[in-house]
């Protein structure tokens, strides 16, 4: 899209958003944190917003129309995102299914798989979870042990997953399973599992933020139809790597955003005669963060434009993920510092909802550098793939 058609889209988006985005949700997307707040679906306004976006097809704006999308190009998608950001709106479909599985199926799925699963993702009606990690396979994901055996007319899955976000609310799971035990990466397959299948059990694990969407998942002799394999047998690692790229990509989005901390800083620490924040030390650090967040957002925009022009940007994803989690974690730390003892509330009374939410977000933000491949793993990938640095050899000192 260019010039006039983009302008028209912007005008349409502005008008439609003003009429359809529930103001009660402005600047507080309930999905990313999933704290004590009721799960987003418990919120009537959230459901309304999801359904309106589904109908408008703007929840999956870039997907083909037959799958529930609006077939917009990158420039159009960016305009939509800008208009939403302006009023504190958000895309309610941005959950595991949309950010990770959708784009993977578009590349690797069969026609039948796409037709079966994409519309449910684009409408936000079908919830997905990611069954990758296992107790012994976190950073070293390829060491996963969940067995998948070919029984002729179906697959039989047996094993345990862990840290499966949202498994207790999910309808479907995309999982990595072992179809060959004699090799590591090349013995892995990518499977879609209906969570209502017999033998699937989930047990929630409470997070330090109090959230309970995190789960252990047990797969006890679960039968899975043959056609639920994505890609070929033993070629699931390639599919997973692609999916992890999409995951990192989505995780580096929006990290530099959020309203300026200046108003709350003014409120909490006051200003001197020159109108500057009264605490020089904190002022320097707040500005340092604001500038990093600014530069980070510019970087996101620039990389987006380069990707659109067909330049290679995939090798930057690990670094962007780390920059993004850094910026977001630092922001959460600064908010806590600004709030002082007011930021230490776990439950009321005595603390405002905003104060308690800040503490929960600060706790939850620690996960940014753990999930989707930890900070260290991203750096390892960047060092090896992007910079071409060699693996270490034992040096014995």
Partner 1 sequence: MAVLTEEQAMLRDMASEWVRDRAPVTAARAAARSEQRYDPALWAEMAGMGWCGVLVPEAHGGADFGCVGFGIVQEELGRTLVASPLLSTALIGASAIRLGGSAEQQANWLPRIAAGEVVVALAVEEETPDAGTAAMLTAGSEGWRLDGRKTPVLDALAADLLIVSARDEDGSLRLVTVDAAAEGVGISPLDRLDGRDAATIDFAGVPVDRAAALDGGAELLEHLLDRGRAALAAEMMGTAAQAFETTLDYLKTRVQFGQLIGSFQALQHRAVAMQAELIMTRSAVEAALAAIDAGAEDASMLVSLAKALAGDTLRLIAREMVQMHGGIGMTEEHDAGLYFKRAAVTDATWGHAGFHRNRYARLAGY
**Listed ranges 68-76, 85-93, 246-254, 360-368: which one lies at the site for partner 1 (CB under 8 A):** 360-368
Position 380 contacts ligand FAD (CB under 6 A) = yes
The rounded distance, in Å, linking the Cα atoms of 54 and 57 is: 5
The rounded distance, in Å, linking the Cα atoms of 62 and 94 is: 13
Please give the size of the binding site for ligand FAD, defined by CB under 6 A.
18
Position 359 contacts partner 1 (CB under 8 A) = yes
Q: Identify what 316 binds: partner 1, ligand FAD, none; CB under 5 to 8 Å per kind.
A: none
**Which of 76, 138, 166, 256 forms a contact with partner 1 (CB under 8 A)?**
138
**Which of 13, 80, 339, 377 forms a contact with ligand FAD (CB under 6 A)?**
377
Angstrom distances, CA of residue 360 to CA of 80, 332, 334: 29, 10, 14
The rounded distance, in Å, linking the Cα atoms of 285 and 289 is: 6
Residue 171 is given by DSSP the state S
**Interface mask (CB under 6 A) for ligand FAD, residues 136-155, using x and -?**
--xx----------------
Q: Identify what 183 binds: ligand FAD, partner 1, none; CB under 5 to 8 Å per kind.
A: none
- In this structure, the dihedral spanned by the alpha carbons of residues 313, 319, 324 and 330, taken in order and rounded to 10 degrees, is -160
State the minimum distance, in angstroms, from the CB of residue 210 to partner 1.
8
Q: Which residues contact 145 (CB under 8 A, 6 or more apart)?
A: 134, 136, 137, 159, 178
**Which of 91, 104, 130, 133 forms a contact with partner 1 (CB under 8 A)?**
133
Position 166 contacts partner 1 (CB under 8 A) = no
Contact positions with partner 1 (CB under 8 A) in 185-244? 205-208, 210, 214
**Which of 237, 369, 381, 382 forms a contact with partner 1 (CB under 8 A)?**
369
The rounded distance, in Å, linking the Cα atoms of 148 and 62 is: 34
Residue entry with tokens 């990611």: 130
Which member of 83, 134, 235, 247 is catalytic?
247
Annotation says 253 is catalytic: no
The rounded distance, in Å, linking the Cα atoms of 289 and 302 is: 20
Position 363 contacts partner 1 (CB under 8 A) = yes
Between 113 and 380, name the residue whose CB sits nearer to partner 1: 380
Between 118 and 381, name the residue whose CB sits nearer to partner 1: 381
Q: Which residues contact 228 (CB under 8 A, 6 or more apart)?
A: 113, 155, 191, 192, 193
Contact positions with partner 1 (CB under 8 A) in 260-289? 269-270, 279-282, 285
Position 139 contacts partner 1 (CB under 8 A) = yes
Q: Identify what 279 binds: partner 1, ligand FAD, none; CB under 5 to 8 Å per kind.
A: partner 1
Q: Identify what 164 binds: partner 1, ligand FAD, none; CB under 5 to 8 Å per kind.
A: ligand FAD
Position 367 contacts ligand FAD (CB under 6 A) = yes
Which residue, among 386, 98, 374, 100, has the nearest Cα to 239 in the 3D structure?
A: 100
Position 326 contacts partner 1 (CB under 8 A) = no
**Which of 347, 387, 388, 396 forms a contact with partner 1 (CB under 8 A)?**
347
* Two structure tokens written together for 272: 């001197």
* Two structure tokens written together for 132: 């990758």
C-beta of residue 304 within 8 angstroms of C-beta of residue 78: yes
DSSP assignment of 259-304 equals --SHHHHHHHH-B-TTSSBS-HHHHHHHHHHHHHHHHHHHHHHHHH
**Which of 35, 99, 146, 165 forms a contact with ligand FAD (CB under 6 A)?**
165
C-beta of residue 240 within 8 angstroms of C-beta of residue 373: no
Q: Hey, which residues does 159 pair with through a beta bridge?
A: 219
Q: Hey, which residues does 148 pair with through a beta bridge?
A: 157
Q: Which residues sit at the interface with partner 1, rule CB under 8 A?
A: 133, 136, 138-140, 143, 162-163, 205-208, 210, 214, 269-270, 279-282, 285, 336-337, 340-341, 343-351, 359, 362-363, 366-367, 369-371, 374-376, 379-380, 392
Active site residues: 247
Q: Which residues sit at the interface with ligand FAD, rule CB under 6 A?
A: 129-133, 138-139, 163-165, 214, 367, 370-371, 374, 376-377, 380
């Amino acid at each position: 899209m260019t010039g006039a058609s983009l302008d028209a889209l912007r005008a349409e988006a502005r008008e439609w958003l003003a009429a359809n985005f529930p103001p009660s949700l402005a600047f507080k997307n309930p999905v990313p944190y999933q704290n004590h707040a009721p799960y987003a679906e418990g919120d009537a306004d959230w459901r309304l917003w999801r359904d309106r976006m589904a109908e408008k097809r703007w929840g999956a704006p870039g997907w083909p129309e037959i799958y529930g999308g609006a077939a917009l190009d990158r420039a159009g998608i960016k305009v939509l995102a800008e208009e939403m950001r302006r009023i504190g709106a958000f895309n309610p479909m941005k959950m595991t299914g949309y950010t990770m599985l959708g784009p993977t199926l578009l590349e690797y799925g069969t026609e039948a798989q796409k037709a079966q699963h994409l519309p449910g993702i684009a409408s936000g009606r079908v919830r997905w979870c990611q069954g990758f990690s296992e107790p012994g396979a976190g950073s070293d994901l390829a060491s996963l042990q969940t067995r998948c055996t070919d029984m002729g007319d179906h697959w039989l899955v047996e094993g345990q997953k862990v840290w499966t976000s949202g498994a207790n609310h999910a309808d479907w799971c995309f999982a990595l399973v072992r179809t060959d035990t004699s090799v590591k990466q090349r013995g892995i397959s990518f499977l879609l599992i209906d969570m209502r299948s017999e033998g699937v059990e989930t047990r929630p694990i409470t997070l330090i933020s109090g959230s309970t969407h995190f789960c252990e998942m047990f797969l006890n002799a679960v039968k899975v139809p043959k056609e639920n394999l994505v890609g070929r047998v033993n070629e699931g690692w390639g599919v997973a790597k692609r999916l992890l790229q999409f995951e990192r990509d989505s995780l580096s989005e929006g990290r530099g955003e959020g309203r300026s901390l200046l108003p709350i800083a003014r409120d909490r620490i006051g200003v001197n005669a020159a109108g500057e924040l009264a605490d020089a030390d904190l002022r320097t650090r707040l500005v340092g963060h604001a500038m990093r967040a600014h530069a980070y957002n510019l970087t996101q925009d620039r990389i987006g434009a380069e990707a659109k022009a067909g330049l290679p940007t995939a090798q930057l994803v690990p670094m962007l993920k780390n920059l993004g989690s850094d910026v977001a974690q630092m922001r959460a730390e600064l908010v806590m510092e600004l709030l002082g003892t007011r930021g230490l509330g776990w439950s009321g009374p005595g603390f405002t909802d905003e104060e308690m939410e800040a503490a929960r977000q600060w706790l939850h933000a620690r996960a940014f550098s753990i999930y989707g491949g930890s900070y260290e793993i991203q750096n390892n990938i960047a060092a090896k793939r992007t910079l071409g640095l060699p693996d270490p050899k034992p040096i014995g000192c």
